Amino acid sequence: MSGYVRPLNVVVGVNGIGMGHSVRQSVIAQYLRERGHEVRIVTNGAARVEYFRDLGFTAWEGWMPTLLARGDRIHASDAIRDNMRQAPVGFTKHLRLRRILRETGVPDVFITDYEPNTPRLAYHFGRPLISVDQQSKYRHLNLPAVGRYARTADEQRLRYFAPRVDRSFICSYVPLEADDRRLEFIAPVIPDSVRSTPVTTEPLATAYFSRYFDHGPEESVGTLASVFRQYVPDRALRIYVQPTEIGNLRKYADGKIEICTFDRKAFIMDMARSEAVFSNAGFNLISEAFVLGKPVHLVPLPTYDQHWCAKVVREAELGTSALRIDRGAILDFLNRSRELRDNVVRHRDRHLSSDPRERIASYLESLPAVGWPVPAPIAG
């Protein structure tokens, strides 16, 4: 443990929507475990609980309330209506978590990733709360609107989830700055399995499109396949979709165009040998593509987060973006793929080569022993 003698008891709270949060926090959790610390997980959804248990962690299920935006704001009336039936179950789960931690060992420190369970536990037990996420930039930085999307709802959600934190590590694939010294911007947390994947450049493009409520992948998959079939016959295309979508989308497969059920290992391997990547604008996928040196063409889902990610990628000339998949944007991206790929490699070597796990672990290990004062928490 690098000369450090006091093992920590850490509980990590993970947003269970999608895989990005789980992948990032599993990398951090495994690293802390390797340094001799005890790590336990709180997340939402049985599938995410099972994911962490399969990695050998004790994991419990918490409750994630529904906080949907209307007009770029979260309205109290909507939150009450959407959560009225589930709130009693959620409160019962929270009391159960308190009891379990009291009986099995109150943690020295809590880590939160865009969820409300560990903040309430940290406040209850009087322990430090550290956030490690990518969304907190929307809380602490006065970022501009992107088209009709504003950061208001993301900021509201973060303030509800964690009204105050003692320190915030904010993942970013582009350089960001803030005056508050309790904020620290770090490179994205990327699994070793991705960083060590052999990288080549073959006449292949890889794509992944997901669903966000009623915004499904069919239009993007159908148009992308049609453009490749008609205008890009010299390149293969592999499109990954979730298992629930595959039945409706197999019809677009033809010749060099494959429609595949999403498998993370296969997707990473294909991305590593592709000359270009098409996807929605999810933070983790973009980060992993950049670490592999691949440019991206992004079609953001209807959230501020995805539109901000797409905007930053476009402005940094690390890829392109469009509101929907269309022929002109696809062909322009492919024509620029070599130039954009060179940009991505330079950017990666300058900004994304460092591994942030050691920095996070060192900070946790520097915290005073339980019962000692910690720095004044970040409240705003």
Considering the domain architecture, whether residues 111 and 213 belong to the same structural domain is answered as no
Residue with tokens 């590593």: 272
C-beta separation of 284 from 114 below 8 A: no
**Under 8 Å CB-to-CB from 328, ≥6 apart: which residues?**
none
Nearest Cα to Cα of residue 275 among 235, 326, 316: 235
Instruction: Determine the structural domain holding residue 314 and report its residue range.
Output: 193-352
Considering the domain architecture, whether residues 41 and 101 belong to the same structural domain is answered as yes
Considering the domain architecture, whether residues 134 and 227 belong to the same structural domain is answered as no
Is residue 167 helix, strand or coil?
Answer: strand
Q: Output the CA–CA distances (angstroms, integers) from residue 278 to 34, 67, 247, 261, in the order listed.
A: 35, 29, 21, 16
Considering the domain architecture, whether residues 170 and 202 belong to the same structural domain is answered as no
CB atoms within 10 A of CB 66: 10
What's the confidence (pLDDT) of residue 378? 72
**Under 8 Å CB-to-CB from 187, ≥6 apart: which residues?**
171, 172, 173, 351, 352, 353, 354, 355, 356
Considering the domain architecture, whether residues 287 and 168 belong to the same structural domain is answered as no
Considering the domain architecture, whether residues 92 and 166 belong to the same structural domain is answered as yes
pLDDT digit of tens for each residue in the chain (380 aa)?
A: 545 458 999 999 999 988 899 999 999 999 999 999 999 999 999 999 999 999 999 999 999 999 999 988 999 999 999 999 999 999 999 999 999 999 999 999 999 999 999 999 999 999 999 999 999 999 999 999 999 999 999 999 999 999 999 999 999 999 999 989 899 999 999 999 999 999 999 999 999 999 988 889 999 999 999 999 999 999 999 999 999 999 999 999 999 999 999 999 999 999 999 999 999 999 999 999 999 999 999 999 999 999 999 999 999 999 999 999 999 999 999 999 999 999 999 999 999 999 999 999 999 999 987 654 455 567 66
C-beta separation of 242 from 279 below 8 A: no
Considering the domain architecture, whether residues 271 and 347 belong to the same structural domain is answered as yes
CB atoms within 10 A of CB 328: 9
Considering the domain architecture, whether residues 201 and 247 belong to the same structural domain is answered as yes
Considering the domain architecture, whether residues 119 and 230 belong to the same structural domain is answered as no
Q: Does residue 317 belong to any structural domain of this protein?
A: yes
What's the confidence (pLDDT) of residue 214? 86
Q: Does residue 374 belong to any structural domain of this protein?
A: no
- CATH value at residue 184: 3.40.50.2000
Q: What are phi and psi of 206, to 5 degrees?
A: -115, 140
Q: Does residue 372 belong to any structural domain of this protein?
A: no
What is the domain count for the chain?
Answer: 2
Considering the domain architecture, whether residues 200 and 286 belong to the same structural domain is answered as yes
Q: Does residue 74 belong to any structural domain of this protein?
A: yes
